[in-house]
């Protein structure tokens, strides 16, 4: 027995009140075409009078859809994901869809749970940004709710995947650094351990350096366990203490770049005069750092929109061929590489 709160008004009640059949009321509620205006008005009056609200659960049970898609992100605390979530939510809302948010903490176990459909049948589709998940984890997925992948990891699997061109983006950032005359460009945020989520960005970094005839040896790579501010700070300190003297640093993401800048600031190393710093994700925080941060700027709005569209395109049993979609990106050049240009604020206003 549903513990009745307030007045529970059903279609049946409205029908009785209006003196028509349930079907007619349903027709009105669903904006069915062939209803006489008079009838429509009459039913509408009863609806208003009784304060009728359709019961979504019943509708879902009947139609087999819930109007909800899940978005599973590694970490909401990282502003990139928060901003991405906002984009997905807005995009979904535009399609009358609602977003259910999960965060996996980037833990494989949690990611597995999510993509194995522990949400059972509450959701019509799933957008997942995996960190630790391996291809084989996704291979035996028995679920039938459409899955769309986000993020840097690439899997050779029949799922839609939305991402920017990470290699090209990383190369652009490093090229910018080289163009500024830097010759020792370190990378912060490679991965320790078996899997390597930063793979593509490391590759882009290395390719560009190699193409320019510059070093990209292991001594220039600072591996980390996580991807937060503290990890970037610690990695930068290690780099400084290693004896190596890079004149530029490219970080896996903005929080790490900002952590690195804090370490540099504390050590009295000037940014960008002594060491230029570039990040990845273009989060708001970077734009307002004391020295604003140069960063690869993915088109988050596009990523969110494409992800939602991809999921919705697979609803109702439709199964378009899996596709890899490239969202756009650009390089937001700011003080951490350019130095303070012109009047105050100019570089900070960039985006």
**Main-chain dihedrals φ then ψ at residue 164, nearest 5 degrees:** -85, 170
Decide: is 16 part of the binding site for DNA (CB under 7 A).
no
The bridge status of strand 324-327 relative to strand 160-164 is parallel
- Selected from 16, 39, 230, 237, the binder of DNA by CB under 7 A is 39
Decide: is 192 part of the binding site for DNA (CB under 7 A).
no
The token pair at 268 is: 């009295």
Size of residue set near DNA by CB under 7 A: 30
Residue closer to DNA (CB basis): 35 or 180 = 35
Decide: is 348 part of the binding site for DNA (CB under 7 A).
no
Among a copy of itself, DNA, none, the one that 27 touches (CB under a kind-dependent 5 to 8 A) is DNA
Decide: is 49 part of the binding site for DNA (CB under 7 A).
no
Min dist CB 210 to a copy of itself, Å, is 32
Among DNA, a copy of itself, none, the one that 288 touches (CB under a kind-dependent 5 to 8 A) is a copy of itself
Residue closer to DNA (CB basis): 34 or 318 = 34
Decide: is 315 part of the binding site for DNA (CB under 7 A).
no
Which residues have C-beta within 8 Å of that of residue 146, sequence separation ≥ 6? 124, 125, 126, 310, 311, 314, 315
Min dist CB 11 to a copy of itself, Å, is 13
Among DNA, a copy of itself, none, the one that 101 touches (CB under a kind-dependent 5 to 8 A) is a copy of itself
- Selected from 41, 49, 61, 284, the binder of DNA by CB under 7 A is 61
Distance CA 240, CA 234 (A): 10
15 within 8 A of 49, measured Cβ to Cβ: no
- Selected from 31, 34, 217, 318, the binder of DNA by CB under 7 A is 34
Min dist CB 33 to a copy of itself, Å, is 20
Residue closer to DNA (CB basis): 1 or 321 = 1
Nearest alpha-carbon partner for 75 in 207, 231, 187: 231
Residues 62-91 contacting DNA, CB under 7 A = 62-63
308 within 8 A of 97, measured Cβ to Cβ: yes
Decide: is 27 part of the binding site for DNA (CB under 7 A).
yes
91 within 8 A of 305, measured Cβ to Cβ: yes
Which residues have C-beta within 8 Å of that of residue 193, sequence separation ≥ 6? none
The SS3 of residue 192 is coil
Among a copy of itself, DNA, none, the one that 99 touches (CB under a kind-dependent 5 to 8 A) is a copy of itself
Residues 229-288 contacting DNA, CB under 7 A = none
Q: Which residue intervals of 51-78 are DSSP H helices? A: 56-63
Distance CA 173, CA 297 (A): 10
Residue closer to DNA (CB basis): 60 or 141 = 60
Q: How far is CA 287 from the centre of its chain?
A: 19
Q: Could you give the strand order of the β-sheet that contains 276-280, starting from the edge strand earlier in sequence?
A: 221-224, 185-191, 248-251, 276-280, 294-298, 329-332
Which residues here bind DNA, judged by CB under 7 A? 1-2, 8, 10-12, 19-24, 26-27, 29-30, 34-36, 38-39, 52-55, 58-59, 61-63
């Amino acid at each position: 027995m549903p513990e009745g709160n307030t007045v529970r008004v059903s279609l049946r009640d409205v029908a009785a009140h209006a003196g028509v059949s349930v079907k007619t009321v349903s027709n009105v509620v669903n904006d069915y075409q062939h209803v006489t205006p008079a009838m429509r008005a009459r039913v509408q009056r009863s609806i208003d009078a009784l304060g009728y609200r359709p019961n979504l659960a019943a509708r879902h049970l009947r139609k087999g859809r819930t109007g909800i898609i899940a978005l599973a992100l590694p970490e909401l605390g990282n502003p990139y994901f928060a901003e991405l979530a906002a984009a997905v939510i807005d995009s979904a809302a535009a399609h009358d869809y609602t977003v259910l948010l999960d965060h996996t903490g980037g833990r494989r176990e949690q990611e597995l749970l999510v993509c194995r459909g522990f949400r059972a049948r509450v959701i019509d589709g799933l957008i997942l940004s995996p960190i630790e998940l391996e291809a084989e984890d996704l291979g035996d997925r028995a679920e039938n709710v459409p899955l769309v992948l986000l993020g840097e990891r690439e899997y050779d699997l029949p799922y839609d995947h939305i991402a920017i061109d990470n290699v090209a983006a990383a190369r652009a950032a490093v090229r910018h650094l080289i163009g500024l005359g830097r010759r020792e460009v370190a990378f912060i945020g490679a991965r320790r351990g078996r899997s390597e989520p930063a793979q593509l960005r490391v590759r882009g970094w290395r390719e560009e350096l190699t193409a320019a005839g510059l070093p990209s040896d292991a001594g220039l790579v600072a591996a980390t366990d996580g991807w937060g501010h503290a990890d970037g700070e610690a990695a930068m300190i290690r780099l400084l203490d290693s004896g190596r003297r890079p004149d530029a640093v490219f970080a896996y993401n903005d929080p790490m770049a900002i952590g690195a800048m804090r370490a540099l600031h504390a050590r009295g190393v000037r940014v960008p005069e002594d060491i230029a710093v570039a990040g990845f994700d273009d989060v708001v925080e970077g734009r307002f750092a004391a020295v604003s941060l140069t960063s690869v700027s993915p088109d988050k709005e596009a990523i969110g929109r494409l992800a939602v569209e991809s999921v919705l395109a697979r609803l109702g049993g439709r199964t378009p061929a899996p596709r890899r979609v490239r969202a756009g990106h650009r390089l937001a050049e700011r003080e951490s590489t350019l130095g303070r240009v012109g009047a105050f604020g100019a570089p900070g206003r960039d985006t």
